[in-house]
Structure 1
Amino acid sequence: MISCVSFSRGRAFARRSRLACLPLALASAFGGLVHAQQAQQAQPAPQTPTLGETVVTANRTPQALTDLVGDVSIVDRQTIERSGATGVADVLSRLPGIEITRNGGVGNTTSVFIRGAETRFTAVYLDGVRIDSQSTGGAGWEGIPLSQIDRIEVLRGPAAAVYGSDAIGGVIQLFTKRGEEGVSPYAGVGFGSRGLRKIEGGVSGKSGLLDYSFGVAHEESKGFNVQPASKRTVSKDGFTNPDRDVYRSTSGNLKLGFQITPDQRIDATLLASDTDAGYDPSIGYKTKPPILFKNDISSNTLRTAGLTWSAKWNDVYSTRVQVTDSQSVYKTQPSFYRTETHLRGYLFQNEFRFGPHLVTATLERREDALENAPTTSAKLFSRDRAQNALSLGYGFVQGPHSLQLHVRRDNDSEFGGKTTGSAAYGYAITSTLRATVSAGTAFRVPTLYQRFSEYGLASLRPESSRNVELGLQYTQGATNAGIVVYNNRVQNLIVFDSSAKGCQSSFGCYSSTARARYQGVTLSGGHRIGDVTLRTSLDYQDPRDLATDRLLARRAQRHATFGADWRIAGWTLGAEVQTSSKRYDDAANTVKLGGYTVLNLSASTQLTRDLNLVARVDNVGNKDYQFARLYANAGRTAYVGLKWTPQ
């Protein structure tokens, strides 16, 4: 069985995940480590939490980082730039508890798994605007422009009691830059392997009551052959396509803020991104001779818009009113396929703060619409639905105690009412050691495609989950360490079943008959010795299909990141090792994808007061490995970038 499949003229994509549990004996062997939940960065070292820093992802309201009970990571713009990464998923893959898969290079179909949960089980927001697909489910990561992202917040663990449908595995919030006092222009160029070229520019600032930020970027690459010829592809499948698969992306972003009064503010945000990537389809590969399209292009179009009015009426009561809109389009040429998802959201949030108490009451409405055209001649498929919700939250922080309670009632136009809840408690055992425990329920309604397309079943039921986790966190000066143990069970898991009852398609249909368990242990830590900063994260997992007792596809049972950064003579030199154990490409566990270990090196320096240099070499040993069967990775890649930011 396949957990999530999108068809394009016979082409199937499978997205799935689960995490595995490390025996307690092994966890105890790492007893000195505790998961640094507060601020792990991708590259360089974990960010040191400060009392003044706040995050919004955990509870959908600004909260001090040190008061959080949730398992949160933060990535800032400096980290993103030093990473030399092209895709958002590549940055996320260096964080604890996160894996990715990709059908080839940047711009091709990409999945992000938090704690092994399916990619559709992560709720994704860009400047508060929801991004999702009502076709396959989940955000189209390949279409989100990293060049426009200034900050990333990641919450691991279910959050449906705060965010509603979809947040079974976690929540990822992406933020663009906000203008600060003065005028700050910037411009940058970058060059890399396989003809990679980047150019970006923009300006941000603040004048009086108005702050603004504007940025544009373009990048392109000659690419590589994402499905290189092999004995398997030529002799067994009778198919190969030796062309170089190009990549192009153009994006722009505008953010405006106006301080109406000292206690009232309006924010507006717009983002547009167009991405084209070459790919190799499996269309007609069994015909003689095989049908080959040498210029196959997949295109991702993303448009987001949001308008927010925030008001603080007194020291106790504040409100936030928000209207958001997003449109995501995926299409392929010349083997035609097109799917478009349109989401609109309305939010009215009320906050009451008195002493150590925070009470929230939120009304929310979400409208989903899907248009799908599998071929140029096929009839256009179009459906829509809506969800209305009321959520209540309570937070308490005083002395060593932190408590967070949430309950939410969603009413879906197709499935009726669904109630979810969560409870989390943290206790500071000492000034350096803190324990946390949490439990929560979550759900996701089937996509419109999964119910009403030619491969759909209208009888599908919402997927639901129950999660429990324990954490221990240690922070002392330049040292942090932590451990999180979690168990997340999902009922009515939607998979693609070739023998589904009531199916009208000869290929099969979606079915909500499976059960899954995502359980595991995440260990992480960091330490600074003089000018050297060390960091590590290790995930031990046992992703399991409870119906077949087999591992779920494309998830490793073990993956880890080890890194070090050294500041010397004005330079920051970095080394990072990413390693992963074997995975299986199929649900039957018959097609093995080998494990891998890669070494990445980086260097950055301030050439002048206004000019910064970043250089990076990834996969130094040119390791040949695959995230998906027959789809190659880029191999050894190099990148050099210059950015001008006048002081």
Structure 2
Amino acid sequence: MAALLCLAASAALAQASPSSPSSAQSVVVTAARAPQAAADVLADVSVLDRNAIERSGAINLGDLLVRLPGMELARNGGSGSTTSVFVRGSETRHVAVYIDGLRVDGQSTGGAPWELLPLDLVERVEVLRGPAAAIYGSDAIAGVVQLFTRREAGKTSASAALTAGSEGLLRGRAALSGKAGALDGALSVMAEQADGLDARPSRNPDRDGWRRQGVQAGVGLDLAPGQRLDAQWLSGRLRAQYDGTAGVDDVSRHSLQVAGAGWSGRWADGSVTRAQLGETRNTYETQPSYYRTETQQRHWLLQHDLALGANQQLGALLERREDELLNPSTQYSPTLAGQRHQDALALSWRARWGSQQWQAHWRHDRDSEFGKKPTASLAWGWGFAPTWRVGLSAASAFRAPTLFQRFSDYGNASLKSETSRNVEASLRWQAGASEASLVVFRNRVGNLIDWTGSGDCKSRLDDPTWGGCYNNVGRARLQGVTLAGLTRLAGVALSASLDYHDPRNLDTDRLLARRARVTGTLAADTTLAGWELGLDWRASGQRYDIDNKTLAGYGLLGLRAEHALMAGLRIEVRVDNLTDQRYETARTYASSGRTGQVGLRWTL
């Protein structure tokens, strides 16, 4: 950890995505829900483009995100198993996830299906750390992750990749995009499978393999200068073995459908209107122990942004979200079907005066179950020197309980929304290709929802011996410091981050489960004799599991090499967990030891 601190400090004190040395010149959408120059973003944001995704060698989204500052991961076995992603020590359900502007969530226990999201169909990932409910509404207590699929290209392009690796991994991807006159389109397909690892040897001595497939299509039409129609569709499926019941080959099947259409119109310089409608379907099923849950979400959005001169920007948004949940009956419970909706009005203001920047957001949500819920945020930044900027911000957020948490046999109809209040300060520095940051935050979360024992509730079956139910059980404080930076030294691109977190349940005075106080990342990339070489290291300190037993800390070392065999064709080699370290992110669940991948990537 000392090495991480020294490297980050040597780059001074400002944050940037390790994947994008030219991030100051890029555009970020997620921070304000509208295009914004990265240099003007006051929030704590990382951006990963397709090149960074390829270099990471990540098989799924969780493996990619955990390489960023402030991110942690817990998983019940291999890549296809249930995955939790923690942002700044929060609960996994406290992160709002979007694909091309459409919300992806589950109305069972809540949160996105991280293990299902098909990373090979994604062109760009934006990660916003910190509450953003004043922009996005319910769920964004700790942050927002937005995935952008392949879209318009100025000319026809094509790519394909094929990878083989340890644990029986086979992975393929192909993509095509182009433009003809006013019409443009893109199509991507992917498929992968693996024999996997033995997730719980003590329960079922077998390999728990998985298969994942996905397809994505997008089309756009320029109606006139500044007027555009677009539509997108994504489908993903995952079949994974898991060790649930001793001696039984348990299998889960997960599917995701995302479809949307939109129109945007530019009326004058700085006056843009955007309308979008869409639907997402998220289904999870297990066999032979039968369980099934289906979530359907519909989205309507109307947004207008208006520039007031060169220094101010106003925004207004109307949004409606409808949630439906269906859990077919099992031998333990009858069919559960429920629905609700949220209507929202949001206003925003951004301004720059000289070396100072301001950003304010206000949103009013009306939930059909919980009534009115206002949220707000305010951020300020001051470039007090040519290479330095200081920032302060405050924000409120909430997450409404899921339909399952309220109305299932394990539910509690009197549940209240989880709420949060966050303050943070940042110090950033940038000079040429070197950047660094220091971010300090404190987020207090109230009305935490958790599972409680049978003594606290009775089931809807009126059985006093029922195992338990969901309740608002207490408060949490998520506070910490993130130090990150990147620079270039003697032809080597260096990046590092160091996080000290204290995610604590204030009622029990214990750290929240599966989250470490100290985590860190380190990466070095260079070119030698025509090969692109990279090294990355990720470390996590001691944690406690849900049974309060200790999970030991660990450090994982990875190596990669790429080489151009000919124009447009590259060979890629990667080794992860080089030291073959044995570790757990969830107690009694194994993680992969040393693994390798070899692949070919072709681009036209």
TM-score, reference length from structure 2: 0.96
Which residue identity lines up with residue 541 of structure 1 in the other structure?
H
Alignment of 1:116-515 (within 5 A): 116-229=89-202, 240-281=203-244, 283=245, 285=246, 292-294=247-249, 296-355=250-309, 356-373=311-328, 375=330, 378-499=333-454, 501-504=456-459, 506-515=466-475
Measure how far apart 1:500 and its partner are.
5.8
Output the amino acid matched with 1:250: Q
Tell me the distance in 2 between the aligned counterparts of 1:122 and 1:34: 30
Quick one: structure 1 residues 517 and 500, their matched pair in 2 at CA, closer, same or farther if it must change by over 3 Å?
Answer: farther
Match of 2:583 among 617, 622, 625: 625
Tell me, in whole angstroms, the C-alpha distance in 2 between the residues paired with 1:203 and 1:151: 16
Distance in 1 (CA, whole Å) between partners of 2:37 and 2:455 is 48
Query: Kindly tell me: are residues 616 and 217 of structure 1, through their superposed partners in 2, closer, same or farther at Cα, counting changes over 3 Å?
Result: same
Choose between structure 1 and 2: higher strand proportion. 2
User: Is the contact made by 2:18 and 2:495 (CA closer than 8 Å) also made in structure 1?
Assistant: no
2:486 to 515, 519, 526: 526
In 2, are the aligned partners of 1:179 and 1:205 still within 8 Å (CA)? Answer: yes
The whole-number CA distance in structure 2 between the counterparts of 1:36 and 1:306 is 37
User: Following the alignment from structure 1 to structure 2, what is the Cα–Cα distance between the partners of residues 398 and 219?
Assistant: 51
Once residues 159 and 317 of structure 1 are traced to their aligned partners in structure 2, the CA distance between those partners, rounded to angstroms, is: 24
Instruction: Tell me the equivalent position of 1:554.
Output: 514
Q: Secondary structure at the match of 1:450?
A: helix
- SS class of match (1:150): strand
Q: Once structures 1 and 2 are overlaid, which stretch shifts more, 54-63 or 372-381?
A: 372-381
1:49 counterpart = 2:12:
no
Deviations along 1:581-607, whole A, 9 cap, x unmatched?
1111126x3x11111011100111221
**Taking structure 1 as reference, are residues 501 and 378 closer, same or farther at Cα in structure 2, changes over 3 Å only?**
closer
Shift of 1:335: 1.3
CA change 1:398–1:81 in 2 (3 A) is same
Shift of the alpha carbon at 1:503?
A: 2.7
CA distance in 2, matches of 1:159, 1:176: 22
Q: 1:440 to 1:253 in 2, by over 3 A?
A: same
Compute the TM-score of the two structures, normalised by the length of structure 1.
0.90
Could you say which structure has the greater relative contact order, defined with CA pairs below 8 angstroms and 6 or more residues apart? 1
Structure 2 match to 1:98: 71
Distance in 2 of aligned mates of 1:174 and 1:561:
22
1:34 is displaced (CA, Å) by 5.8
Amino acid at match of 1:639: Q
Q: Distance in 2 between matches of 1:32 and 1:250?
A: 43
Name the aligned partner's letter for residue 411 of structure 1: R
Task: Using the TM superposition, give the Cα deviation of residue 38 of structure 1 relative to its aligned residue in structure 2, in angstroms.
Answer: 4.0
- Over residues 458-496 of structure 1, what are the superposed CA-to-partner deviations in whole Å (9 max), with x where a residue is unaligned? 000000000000000011112211100000000101011
- Contact 1:401-1:427 within 8 A present in 2 as well: yes
> Is residue 2:40 matched to residue 1:67?
yes
| Equivalent-residue separation in structure 1 for 2:149 and 2:58 (angstroms) | 17
- The letter of the residue matching 1:528 is R
Q: Which amino acid aligns with 1:217?
A: M
Change (3 A) 1:30 1:602: closer
Name the amino acid aligned to 1:545: N
Tell me what 1:235 maps to.
none
Q: Which amino acid aligns with 1:70?
A: A
CA-CA distance at 1:179 after TM superposition: 2.7
Secondary structure of 2:372's partner? strand
Asked if structure 2 preserves the Cα contact closer than 8 Å seen for 1:306 and 1:325, the reply is yes
Q: Is 1:581 matched with 2:541?
A: yes
2:80 aligns to what?
107
**C-alpha separation in 1, matches of 2:570 and 2:5:** 42
Give distance in 1, aligned partners of 2:511 and 2:54: 36
Give 3-state SS (helix, strand or coil) of 1:72's partner: strand
Residue 505 of structure 2 is matched in structure 1 by 545
Kindly provide the amino acid, as one letter, of the partner of residue 207 in structure 1: A
Distance, in Å, in 1 between the alignment partners of 2:6 and 2:382 is 20
Aligned mates of 1:91, 1:432 — CA distance in 2: 30
What is the Cα deviation at residue 223 of structure 1?
A: 1.1
Q: Distance in 2 between matches of 1:461 and 1:211?
A: 46
Q: Tell me if the contact between 2:132 and 2:140 (Cα under 8 Å) persists in the aligned partners.
A: yes
Go from structure 1 to structure 2 and tell me whether the alpha carbon gap of 1:511 and 1:348 turns closer, same or farther (over 3 Å shift).
Answer: same
* 1:603–1:614 contact (8 Å) kept in structure 2: yes
Aligned to 2:551: 593
Moved more, 457-466 or 601-610: 601-610
Q: Which runs of 4+ in 1 moved over 6 A?
A: 26-33
d(CA) in 1 for partners of 2:6 and 2:361?
Answer: 32
Residue 315 of structure 1 deviates from its aligned partner by: 2.2
Please tell me whether the aligned partners of residues 282 and 296 of structure 2 are also in contact (alpha carbons under 8 angstroms): yes
Q: Distance in 2 between matches of 1:221 and 1:96?
A: 29
Q: Give me the whole-angstrom Cα distance separating, in 2, the residues matched to 1:582 and 1:479.
A: 32
1:354 shift after superposition: 2.0
Tell me the residue number matched to 1:234.
none
For 1:39, give the aligned amino acid: S
**Percent of residue pairs identical:** 47
**CA offsets 1:70-127 (integer angstroms, 9 cap, x no match):** 0000001011111111111100000000001110011110011110111110000001
Distance 1:387 1:40 in 2: 37
Unaligned runs of 5+ residues in structure 2 are: none
When residues 603 and 197 of structure 1 are mapped into structure 2, their CA distance, relative to the original with a 3 A threshold, is same
Could you tell me how far apart the structure 2 residues matched to 1:93 and 1:563 are?
A: 13
Whole-angstrom CA distance in 2 between matches of 1:69 and 1:583: 31
- Provide the secondary structure at the position in 1 that maps to 2:23: coil
CA distance in 2, matches of 1:393, 1:598: 42
From the superposition, tell whether residues 390 and 35 of structure 1 become closer, same or farther in structure 2 (CA, over 3 Å).
Answer: farther
Letter in 1 for 2:559: L
Partner of 1:233: none
Q: What secondary structure, in the 3-state scheme, does the structure 2 residue paired with 1:194 have?
A: coil
After TM superposition, give the deviation of residue 207 of structure 1 in Å. 1.4
Look up the equivalent residue of 2:542 and give its one-letter code.
Answer: K
CA distance in 2, matches of 1:384, 1:500: 29
Give the Cα separation in 2 of the matches to 1:223 and 1:376.
Answer: 31
Structure 1 portions without partners, runs of 5+ = 1-21, 230-239, 286-291
Q: Report the AA paired with residue 201 of structure 2.
A: P
Q: Compared with structure 1, are the counterparts of its residues 543 and 374 closer, same or farther at alpha carbon in structure 2 (3 Å cutoff)? A: farther
Give the secondary-structure state (helix, strand or coil) at the position aligned to 1:624.
Answer: coil
Offset of residue 32 of structure 1 = 6.4
